[in-house]
Amino acid sequence: MTAGAACAVMGILNVTPDSFSDGGRYATVAAAVRQGREMFEDGAAVVDVGGESTRPGAEPVTPEEEMRRVIPVVEELSPAGPVSIDTRHAEVAEAAVRAGASIINDVSATLGHLAARLGVSWVAMHMRGSPRSMQADTRYGDVCAEVQEFLVRRGQDALRAGVPEVWLDPGIGFGKTCAQNLALIRALPALVATGFPVVVGASRKSFVGEICAERDPRRRDAGSLAVALEAARSGAALVRVHDVLATVHGLRMVEAMSDDAVGVVL
Ligand code: HH2
């Protein structure tokens, strides 16, 4: 998968018992593969398979357990379309690529050399510390400048190391307050201007719940769609979402209504 002119959709497929909004829903290989295939049918450009929850305070899992959860799913799902592996662990990423994944979605932004060696695309996301500790210290001087500087440095290093395609992600909700998440979304045009394709993952996250006064993550899809559309308007290349169909339809409508959609073929 390569970044195109229009914003594409990455569907979230958490094969975990404890993810904050869909934990336990796709616990069997069959259920997860069915959900992944449905996401492709609904228009996902890539399905992101994860076996460890990274919600704030989540308990880490061993790479062995993570592999047990994700590898059979990647194997069965990857013939249907591009699959990314959402992991912080090198051994999980490597096994998933061997099982058919073509993108390493790396919330630790540390696996660039592995992506180079394996010759696959790499998403570098900004996070401070680990999921367990990240909300403990959300002090930044200038959050947008710090995040961008960090990501661009990692991105340039990865390109030098030979990664064929590098995507940058500001890591919405990873060690950031509600106000900082909003600032990062407002600053997306600057991140896009660095020339790297940009990924944004805000779907169902707690800042959407805070603003919409909605405690149930599964009732945050409309708020999440608003963020995805704003990210696309700011030039993001990929939005990571739970509700693939609504996001694909929303993006299509916005594109059809835009000035430069004169030649749009329906
Ligand atoms: N967010 C989550 C996980 N992986 N990857 C990228 N690139 N960007 C993100 O914002 C991102 C991510 C956390 O969300 P989710 O997978 O929905 O929940 P959990 O970590 O509880 O499984």
Tens of pLDDT, residue by residue over 224-252, are 999 999 999 999 999 999 999 999 999 99
Instruction: Tell whether the model's pLDDT for residue 138 goes beyond 70.
Output: yes
pLDDT at 229: 98
d(CA 95, CA 134): 27
Q: Is the CB of 240 under 6 A from ligand 1?
A: yes
Distance 201 CA to ligand 1 centre (A): 7
Cβ-contact 107, 127 below 8 angstroms:
yes
pLDDT at 264: 57
Instruction: Tell whether the model's pLDDT for residue 22 goes beyond 80.
Output: no
pLDDT at 174: 93
pLDDT tens for residues 165-176?
A: 999 999 999 999
Instruction: Tell whether the model's pLDDT for residue 261 goes beyond 70.
Output: no
Average pLDDT over residues 114-123: 98
Q: Is the CB of 19 under 6 A from ligand 1?
A: yes
Quick check: is 205 catalytic?
yes
> Given 55, 69, 205, 220, which residue is catalytic?
205
Q: Is the CB of 86 under 6 A from ligand 1?
A: yes
pLDDT at 63: 95
Instruction: Tell whether the model's pLDDT for residue 262 goes beyond 90.
Output: no
Residues 6 or more apart in contact with residue 175 via CB below 8 angstroms: 127, 128, 129, 134, 135, 137, 138
Give ∠ CA 173-82-251 in degrees, rounded to 5.
Answer: 60
Distance 161 CA to ligand 1 centre (A): 26
pLDDT at 24: 80
Rounded alpha-carbon distances, angstroms, from residue 151 to 14, 36, 108, 157: 25, 29, 11, 10
Lowest model confidence (mean pLDDT) among 1-5, 67-71, 84-88, 212-216: 1-5
Distance 126 CA to ligand 1 centre (A): 12
Quick check: is 153 catalytic?
no
Q: Categorise residue 214: left if φ over 0, alpha if ψ from -120 to 50, beta otherwise.
A: beta
Confidence of residue 58 (pLDDT cuts 50, 70, 90): confident
Give ∠ CA 108-109-112 in degrees, rounded to 5.
Answer: 130
